[in-house]
Chains A and B, each alone.
Chain A
Amino acid sequence: AQRVTQPEKLLSVFKGAPVELKCNYSYSGSPELFWYVQYSRQRLQLLLRHISRESIKGFTADLNKGETSFHLKKPFAQEEDSAMYYCALSLNNAGNMLTFGGGTRLMVKP
C-alpha cells in the first residue's frame, strides 16, 4: 500500500532563512504528488502539485523518483509562511483518493 512520510512534525526557522520540508513516499508506480497547506484558522488548501511544475508563493517541489521524495523548498522564509504543511499522494488508478503524510508545522520566527 502507498504511504507518505513527513519526518519532521515541527520545523522552526528564522525569517529569511531557507526552508525545506521533507516528504518521502512509498509506491512502486508513478503517483501524483501534492503539497497542501493549512494557515491558522483557514481551510486546508492546495499549495502546489507536481504535475503543474509551478512555483507558488515562492515554494517549489521537485519529484525525485530515485529517492521517492517530494521535498518542499523556499529560499527565503517569510513569517506568513507559518502554517501546517501536508504532503499527499494520488494514484492514477484510484480516482482522486489522496494519501496524506502526518504533516509538518512550519514556524517562521521574526
Chain B
Amino acid sequence: DSGVTQTPKHLITATGQRVTLRCSPRSGDLSVYWYQQSLDQGLQFLIQYYNGEERAKGNILERFSAQQFPDLHSELNLSSLELGDSALYFCASSVSDSYNSPLHFGNGTRLTVT
C-alpha cells in the first residue's frame, strides 16, 4: 500500500505522559498535514509541513509539536497529556501545498488518555 501510513493505530496512555505519532506520506507527496478529530470539535487542523519546513499552523497547543524529516515522514509529539487530548489524529499528504491539491488521508491514530 503506497498510501499514507500512520503508526501506531491505537495508543493508550496516562495523563502527564508524552507520546509520538508517526506518519509516512504517499510516495511523491511533499506536504504533510496533521488533523485532530474529537467528538466535540470535529476535524481541526493542527499543522502543515512542506518539504521539511513548517508551512501553516492551526489550533495546535503549545504542548504539541511536530516535524518533517528529510525522508519526508513526519512525527507529531504530544506532551503533558490531558484527558481532553483523547482523539483521533489524522495525517494527510499532498503532492504540493497548492490550495487545490487534494489531500490523501491515513487511517488515523486513536489516542486514549486515561
Q: By the criterion CB–CB under 8 Å, are A96 and B94 in contact?
A: yes
Distance of B45 from chain A, by nearest CB (Å)? 5
The total of chain B residues at the interface (CB under 8 A) is 29
A86, B108: Cα distance in complex, Å: 16
A100, B42: Cα distance in complex, Å: 8
Interface SS of chain B: strand
Distance of A9 from chain B, by nearest CB (Å)? 10
Any chain A CB within 8 A of the CB of B89? no
Please give, as numbers and ranges, the residues of chain A lying within 8 Å of B90 by CB-CB distance. Answer: 44
Please give, as numbers and ranges, the residues of chain A lying within 8 Å of B42 by CB-CB distance. Answer: 100-103
Q: Which of B42, B43, B107 has the most CB of A within 10 A?
A: B43
Partner of B105, one of A34, A44, A97: A44
Distance of A2 from chain B, by nearest CB (Å)? 11
Contacting residues of chain A (61-110) with chain B, CB-CB under 8 angstroms:
86, 90-103
Any chain B CB within 8 A of the CB of A57? no
Any chain A CB within 8 A of the CB of B25? no
Q: By the criterion CB–CB under 8 Å, are B48 and A97 in contact?
A: yes
Please give, as numbers and ranges, the residues of chain A lying within 8 Å of B16 by CB-CB distance. Answer: none
Any chain A CB within 8 A of the CB of B103? yes
Q: By the criterion CB–CB under 8 Å, are B43 and A100 in contact?
A: yes
A99, B50: Cα distance in complex, Å: 18
Given contacts A44-B90, A86-B43, A101-B42, contact A96 B105 (CB under 8 A): no
Partner of B103, one of A51, A91, A93, A96: A96
6 A–B contacts, CB within 8 A, in A order: A43-B107, A92-B99, A96-B99, A96-B101, A97-B56, A100-B45
- B residues near A (Cβ < 8 Å) are 3-4, 31, 33, 35, 42-45, 48, 50, 55-56, 58, 90, 92, 94, 96-107
